[in-house]
Amino acid sequence: MKEIPNPQTGFEPISQMIRGYQLTQVLSTAMKYGIFSRLDKPKGASILAEEMSADAVITEKLLEVLVSVDLISKVDGGYVNTDLVRSFFIKDSIFYQGDLIDFMVDSYPLWSKLDQALENGHLDNSGEGKREDTFDKRFILASAEASIRGTLQDTVEVIAGLPEFKDTKLLMDLGGGHGLYSIAFAQRNPSLEVVVFDLPQVVEIGRGVIKDYGMEARVSVLAGDYLKDDLGSGYDLIFISHSLFYQPRETLEGSLNKVYNALKDKGALVINHWIRQKNKNSVVSSLWDLRLTLLGSPHYLYSKEEYLDLLRKCGFVEKDIIHLPTSSNPTVIIVARKDDRRGTFTPS
Ligand SMILES: C[S@@+](CC[C@H](N)C(=O)[O-])C[C@H]1O[C@@H](n2cnc3c(N)ncnc32)[C@H](O)[C@@H]1O
């Protein structure tokens, strides 16, 4: 007789992986058909199907899946949104995630060619790898949504507690994109002025976000390319979040030298980035790394040691390293001070 043993580990992590594609399709189809915006009040499946001109049987089955994952609930035979949907999938919610979901789902055709990439190298015919394509409106909205659902609040909380932040009067948010970090910093410190520096097409989006939050008086934008343009001077603190990892080490050094020059004496640099870990990267950063490689889009997952080496070389003294990892944001914050003994950097 051959006995049936118990497996040594549970299969649930793999089951979740397998269900992931199906559930993402259910979620994005529900959003495409405006199901959530129609379920602010309880509604039966057949009425909903009629409103959407959709098949009644499939509508009901799809609603049942949404109930099973707590996106909607059943009340008196009707279906209604849960708080999860009210927070994240209703357009006028401050935490709306619809652009981010669209952005991720749109990359599915790319993932389906992973086997081709294994054979031939990156998919350079995708045409999406160029920088002007990377930092478009869809990307900036998606990155705004990814940060505002908690990551930004956690990061700002840590930075607002730093002595360097408390003394800051003028802050630059370099590669600040949507401007939400700048807005949050200005709201934490009423005497602070913030400048969001980013590419010309991006600062126009940031300008709109700043206006939405009514922060135009203390948060402004400066259009430029930090690989080519001057950053100005007189900043007490320069914050750089998820922007340096698009550059190779050679240009990164030039950018950090510019940052050094733009800071006041003893000014602070705070960088916030995903980093390469020794033994195991997070699923978020390793999928990001693979996706951009498939696209042929330049990016570099630097280790903490590589950032620290580079900062020292550019005349900074490290002050603090703060690990702020969550499953969706495996980030490390490095706080450094300008070392005045180095003098002003003159480009060679
Ligand atoms: C992933 S987004 C990060 C946005 C924001 N800092 C955050 O953490 O959510 C990267 C930002 O860096 C900006 N960026 C990249 N290269 C740049 C350059 N050479 N000059 C100015 N901005 C740049 C992009 O336009 C984009 O807004």
What pLDDT does 341 receive?
Answer: 66
Pair 33, 170 in one domain: no
The pLDDT of residue 221 is above 80: yes
Asked if residue 124 is part of any domain, the answer here is no
Range(s) of the domain holding residue 264: 131-342
Asked if residue 348 is part of any domain, the answer here is no
Where do we find the tokens 């969706």?
Answer: 328
Residue 303 CB contacts under 8 Å (≥ 6 apart), including other chains: 275, 276, 277, 278
Pair 35, 166 in one domain: no
Q: Within 10 Å of residue 137's Cβ, how many Cβ atoms? A: 12
Confidence label for 132 from pLDDT (cuts 50, 70 and 90): low
Total number of domains in the chain: 2
pTM for the whole structure:
0.93
What pLDDT does 72 receive?
Answer: 98
Pair 65, 191 in one domain: no
Angle at which helices 56-68 and 45-52 cross, to 10°: 120
Asked if residue 120 is part of any domain, the answer here is no
Pair 227, 86 in one domain: no
**pLDDT of 80-118, one tens digit each?**
999 999 999 999 999 999 999 999 999 889 999 999 999
Average pLDDT, stretch 135-158? Answer: 95
What pLDDT does 330 receive?
Answer: 78
Residue 94 CB contacts under 8 Å (≥ 6 apart), including other chains: 148
Percentage above 90 pLDDT, the chain = 85
Asked if residue 329 is part of any domain, the answer here is yes
Strands (E) located in 202-346? 219-223, 235-241, 263-274, 316-326, 329-338
For residue 27, how far is its CA from the centre of ligand 1 (angstroms)? 29
The pLDDT of residue 30 is above 80: yes
Helix (H) or strand (E) holding 198: strand 193-198
What pLDDT does 324 receive?
Answer: 82
38: domain CATH number? 1.10.10.10
Q: Please say which residue of 90, 121, 143 terminates a domain.
A: 90
Confidence label for 77 from pLDDT (cuts 50, 70 and 90): confident
The pLDDT of residue 345 is above 80: no
What pLDDT does 124 receive?
Answer: 64
Q: Give one DSSP letter per residue of 90-138, joined into a string.
A: STTSTT--HHHHHHHHHTHHHHTTHHHHHHHSS-GGG---SHHHHTSHH
Asked if residue 45 is part of any domain, the answer here is yes
Q: Which of 326, 296, 347 is nearest to 151 (CA)?
A: 326
What pLDDT does 348 receive?
Answer: 41
Q: Please say which residue of 74, 90, 106 terminates a domain.
A: 90
317: domain CATH number? 3.40.50.150
Pair 188, 333 in one domain: yes
Average pLDDT, the chain: 93
Asked if residue 176 is part of any domain, the answer here is yes
- Pairing type for strands 193-198 and 170-174 reads parallel
What pLDDT does 193 receive?
Answer: 98
Helix (H) or strand (E) holding 45: helix 45-52
The pLDDT of residue 130 is above 80: no
106-110, 179-183, 241-245, 305-309: the lowest-pLDDT one: 106-110
Pair 49, 173 in one domain: no
Q: Which of 315, 325, 297 is nearest to 110 (CA)?
A: 297
In this structure, the residue with its CA closest to atom 13 of ligand 1 is 175
**pLDDT of 283-342, one tens digit each?**
999 999 999 999 888 899 999 999 999 999 999 999 999 998 666 677 899 999 998 766
Pocket test for ligand 1, best of 100, 171, 180, 199 (most atoms within 8 A of CB): 199
Cα gap 102→265, rounded to integer Å: 44
Confidence label for 257 from pLDDT (cuts 50, 70 and 90): very high
Pair 210, 290 in one domain: yes
What pLDDT does 343 receive?
Answer: 58
The pLDDT of residue 40 is above 60: yes
Phi, psi for residue 71 in degrees, rounded to 5? -85, -35
Pair 67, 188 in one domain: no
For residue 243, how far is its CA from the centre of ligand 1 (angstroms)? 5
Lining residues, ligand 1, CB within 6 Å: 135, 140, 143, 147, 175-177, 198-199, 202, 225-227, 241-243, 246
For residue 34, how far is its CA from the centre of ligand 1 (angstroms)? 31
For residue 172, how far is its CA from the centre of ligand 1 (angstroms)? 13
For residue 177, how far is its CA from the centre of ligand 1 (angstroms)? 5
Please tell me which residue, 323 or 198, carries the higher pLDDT value: 198
Residue 32 CB contacts under 8 Å (≥ 6 apart), including other chains: none
